[in-house]
Chain A
Amino acid sequence: MPTAPAPPGVFVPPPASGRTDALGAADLLRFTTAGSVDDGKSTLLGRLLVETRSVLADQLAAVTEASRRRGHARPDLALLTDGLRAEREQGITIDVAYRAFATPRRAFLVADTPGHVQYTRNMVTGASTADLAVVLVDARRGVQTQSRRHAFIASLLGIRHLVFAVNKMDLVDYAEVAFTAVADEAAAFAARLGVPDVAVIPVSALHGDNVAGRSNAMPWYGGATLLHHLEHVAVGDRNPVDFRFPVQLALRPDAGFRGLAGTVASGAIRPGERVAVLPSGRRTRVRAVYASGREVAEARAGDAVVIALADEVDAARGDLLVRDLNRPFVGSDVEAMVCWMDDRPLAVGRRYLFRQTTRETPARVASVLYRVDVDTLHRAPAAALGLNDIGRVRVETASPVYFDAYRDNAATGAFILVDADTNATVAAGMVRGGAAMVGEADASAQEVIAPEAPEVPVSPDVVRDAPGVTRAEREARQGHRGGALWLTGPPGAGKSAVARETERRLFARGATVVVLDGDDLRH
């Protein structure tokens, strides 16, 4: 656009001088923290902020001053992350607080959630947007109920990276035995939850050991510091395979342009590829993809873009763009785990609004199958759910919804329930599947092992055995990390060829690798 020179007072930056790294090298990691009250969570967060130089002089001065007024000799770092006045009076955190800090390698967003009993809902909220969870454990007390609860909630929300920070190591003389006992307990519990990536790190939040800098007091510990781990843990797109694009709104600035604005929920798409619009089922191709008004070659999960279609196909907010041959489930009867978040208990039969992706439809909870006792992880029979309860329910929606199971695709498996009278958000839900698909759940008192466990009811005789040789041991022996790569696609797409080539190259690099090909397994 030809522009007149800017008037006085306006600074128009000259074009960048050829630099391509202007956005910086750092990526973003979202994590959540929790622990029992007094395990040292606020102190640990404060420590991370200070050590990454994210706390400025005037903030630190204010905290030092406030600490002195309370008679503390040194600045109480917990005060840095302790917000509202009401909490200051009570001396505890009561809600989810979000905080940012950064290193040259990575920017971090922390959802800090409270540790006391009645705030399951805040942990669920914090975990819903997190890639990783840091669970505080007091080295003297081991893995308490509250830590288990948080780890369970993290796994329920599909978090794949768990870190147990075993804190207050200074109070157990930095002793390896004390750490090992807690670490074993934590690892065993995480294994039961089926969380794939677990780290246990001995720290002292108060003194800074193994938070950002290595501890001299614990030479027996050869692992990463907490900050190093957070900076290096590899978190990818949760689902890079199944393309899902919920339409936020249709843009029609003039007769010449029509585009669908939205954020890619999962998978990726390029111009020219075939897509279908749900619910109409109309098929077409992608004509172009725009980001910030400019054409781009690809959009993938998390990108906020505009997609222009090749044909005049009707699409509006709430519609879903998918690949023709890779469709989500459709139905108006779903089974889900929900966390109840409202003072007024869930009322079976009452009308709620079901909001999932960009779609909203009236719904009712047809039945409560069971409640999960988050302390024992056992199922308890229940007729309703109250504030902070987690349970499995059947929901009937007024019009069909398009969804995936939450464990496969959080973006299309997540929903909230809104109370149509109060407008409050009353529940967070994670779809397990269509009611017909998952069958009636057995409400007898059995353990809800992993929220990621198979949908088919598991016989009580089938129990997950504690691992003998652990993953860490295997990885130490092999000299590289373990991982499974799953190739999916229609027959003849070239899965086996890709697998063989990958196997060959990894083998050539000295890795221990094996291909499990469906064809071979069926022989």
Chain B
Amino acid sequence: MSLPRRSHLRALEAEAVHVLREVAAQFERPVLLFSGGKDSIVMVELARRAFAPGPIPFPLLHVDTGHNFPETLAFRDWLVDQTGAMLHVASVDDAIRRGLVQDEAGPEASRNSLQTAVLLDALAGLRADAALGGGRRDEEKARAKERIFSHRDRAGQWDPRNQRPELWNLYNGRIAPGEHVRVFPLSNWTELDVWRYIRAERIAVPTLYLAHARETVDRRGTLLAVTEHLTLLPGETPARRRVRFRTVGDVTCTGAVESTAETLDAVVAEVAGAVQTERGGRHDDRRSETAMEDRKRAGYF
């Protein structure tokens, strides 16, 4: 004899809301890392639900690589306006000017490694003791064993061999001064779960996620958007294609997929039938088989 069970998306939602509330209760200065991507958008929506009718009790932090899609910035500002959330922006361009980091050179330069330093610098500046991220365990093998409350040492590093056991829903957020905890409320969601939730709850997203016409170049199988930040390699010719993005990051390394999905239903159908992982379109992950793990050790999100 059992009661009707709740749908799995409601179960994931409840888990995430519980985690967000634990963060608000256990930490003094949490921040929510907002990338403008769908995962962080869902996280903001969950935070709104967790604390309604009150405001979201922590600020959003956007690490601005300076290589944004204009849609991402428009969306960010609109969302901040809608939710009344407070926004901090940590700018990579600024950090370069300050001499904190140096831009990689060359046409295939990536600002991923710079992002890490800028993020850690911003967290220190805000004296953040917890940083909420939209990371999911299905994204990459290395993430599968990451905890929901993931402890980082003073240098912001993750030690995969020395993680705290995480039992029941009892999250241990105790840290020493200068340390912080990365918290991943969406750990147990898959890409498809995120899209199904966005569809069911009618959550707004940047138009980048829906099919649209755009100038792109095909770089070794990855479709890159042609923007002022992209240096064309010899022999590359831009073409107009109908595409959408599965992840939204740095314009110089986020790959688009050809798509006709103009509605959320169509996106869900496409993701459900997808044959490639979403990170498959991210240039930076392919540098080595353990690329993600190396970045995580260094404090990348």
Cβ of B85 to closest chain A Cβ, rounded Å = 14
- Which residue among A6, A425, A428 has the maximum number of chain B CB atoms within 10 Å of its CB? A425
User: Within the complex, what minimum Cβ distance (angstroms) separates B59 from chain A?
Assistant: 17
- Give the residue name and chain of the A residue nearest to B294 (CB): A85
In B1-17, the 8 Å CB interface with A consists of: 1-3, 5-15, 17
Q: Contact between B276 and A99 (Cβ–Cβ < 8 Å)?
A: no
* Binding-face segment, A274-282, A361-369, A377-385, A415-423: A415-423
B277 touches A251 (CB 8 A): no
Check B172–A84 contact: CB distance below 8 A.
no
Q: How far is the CA of A503 from the CA of B290 in the complex (A)?
A: 60
> Is A100 in contact with chain B by the CB < 8 A criterion?
yes
Q: Which chain B residues lie closer than 8 Å to A272 at the CB level?
A: none
In the assembled complex, which residues on chain B have CB atoms less than 8 Å from the CB atom of A252? 54
A317 interface residue (CB < 8 Å to B): yes
**Chain A residues, Cβ within 8 Å of B49:** 291-293
Q: Is B137 an interface residue (CB 8 A)?
A: yes
Contact of B50 among A23, A24, A261, A302 (CB under 8 A): A261
Interface string of B182-204 (1 = CB under 8 A from A): 00000111101100111110111
Q: Which residues of B contact A25 (CB under 8 A)?
A: 7
In the complex, B166 has a CB within 8 A of chain A: yes
> In this assembly, does A496 line the interface, its C-beta being within 8 Å of a C-beta of chain B?
no
Pairwise interchain contact A263-B14, C-beta atoms closer than 8 A: yes
Do A9 and B207 contact each other (CB < 8 Å), given the known contacts A83-B141, A100-B137?
A: yes
- Complex: how many Å from CA A290 to CA B53? 9
Contact with A290, one of B10, B52, B188, B197 (Cβ below 8 angstroms):
B52
- Indicate which residue in A6, A58, A81 contacts B204 across the interface (CB closer than 8 Å): A6
Q: Mark A91-123, 1 if CB is under 8 A from B, else 0.
A: 000111111101000110100000000000110
Verify B280–A292 contact, CB threshold 8 A. Answer: no
B204 touches A13 (CB 8 A): yes
**B210: contacting residue among A11, A84, A259, CB under 8 A:** A11
Complex Cα gap A161–B21 (Å): 31
In the complex, A436 has a CB within 8 A of chain B: no
CA distance A84 to B297 in the complex (A): 11
Alpha-carbon distance between A306 and B50 when the two chains are bound, in angstroms? 9
Asked if residues A125 and B50 are in contact (CB atoms below 8 Å), the reply is no
Nearest CB of chain A from residue B284's CB, rounded to whole Å: 15
A10:B170 contact, CB within 8 angstroms: no
Report the Cα distance A386→B10, complex, angstroms: 39
B228 within 8 A of A: no
User: Contacts A26-B8, A251-B51; is A11 near B280 (CB within 8 Å)?
Assistant: no
Q: Does A467 contact B (CB under 8 A)?
A: no
A410 to B192, CA, bound (A): 31
Interface residues of B in 133-156 (CB under 8 A from A): 137-138, 141-142, 144-145
Judging by beta carbons under 8 Å apart, are B172 and A28 in contact? Answer: no
Query: Contacting B163 at CB < 8 Å: which of A7, A66, A95, A257?
Result: A95
- For residue B153, give the distance in angstroms from its CB to the closest CB of chain A: 12
The residue in B10, B73, B189, B274 that gathers the most chain A C-beta atoms within 10 A of its C-beta is B10
Chain B neighbourhood of A122, CB < 8 A: 165
- Kindly list chain A residues whose C-beta atoms are within 8 Å of the C-beta of B165: 96, 121-122, 124-125, 341, 425, 428
- Asked if A253 and B55 sit within 8 Å, CB to CB, the answer is yes
B168 contacts A129, C-beta separation under 8 Å: yes
- Does B25 sit within 8 A of A, measured CB to CB? yes
Question: With a CB–CB cut-off of 8 A, which chain A residues contact B70?
Answer: 9
B2 and A84: CB pair below 8 A?
no
Closest A residue, CB atoms, query B20: A304
How near does chain B come to A521, taking the closest CB pair, in angstroms? 22
Choice from A109, A125, A248 contacting B188 with Cβ under 8 Å: A109
Surface stretch bound by B, among A184-192, A220-228, A230-238, A455-463:
A230-238
CB-based contact A85/B293 at 8 Å: yes
Interface stretch, picked from B74-82, B99-107, B122-130, is B74-82
Q: Given A83-B144, A252-B54, are A261 and B6 also a contact pair (CB < 8 Å)?
A: no
Complex alpha-carbon distance, A341 and B163, angstroms: 11
Q: Which of B11, B73, B172 contacts A418 (CB 8 A)?
A: B172
Please determine whether A6 and B78 come into contact, CB atoms closer than 8 angstroms.
Answer: yes
Smallest CB-CB separation from A19: which chain B residue?
B200
CB distance from A441 to the nearest CB of B (A): 23
A488 to chain B, nearest CB (A): 14
B116 nearest CB across to chain A (Å) = 19
Determine how close the nearest CB of chain A comes to the CB of B239; give it in whole angstroms.
23
Known contacts A11-B204, A236-B1, A341-B165; decide if A97 and B11 are in contact (CB<8 Å).
no
Nearest 6 interchain pairs by C-beta:
A236-B2, A293-B52, A253-B54, A9-B71, A9-B74, A22-B200
Other A-B contacts than A28-B8, A58-B275, A125-B166, 4 sampled, CB-CB below 8 A, are: A9-B74, A27-B8, A102-B192, A302-B11
What would be 7 A-B contacts, judged by CB atoms less than 8 Å apart?
A: A8-B71, A27-B11, A129-B167, A249-B25, A302-B14, A304-B15, A483-B1
B residues at A contact (CB < 8 Å): 1-3, 5-15, 17-18, 21-22, 24-25, 48-55, 70-75, 78, 82, 137-138, 141-142, 144-145, 160-161, 163-170, 172, 174-176, 187-190, 192-193, 196-200, 202-210, 264, 274-277, 280, 289-290, 293
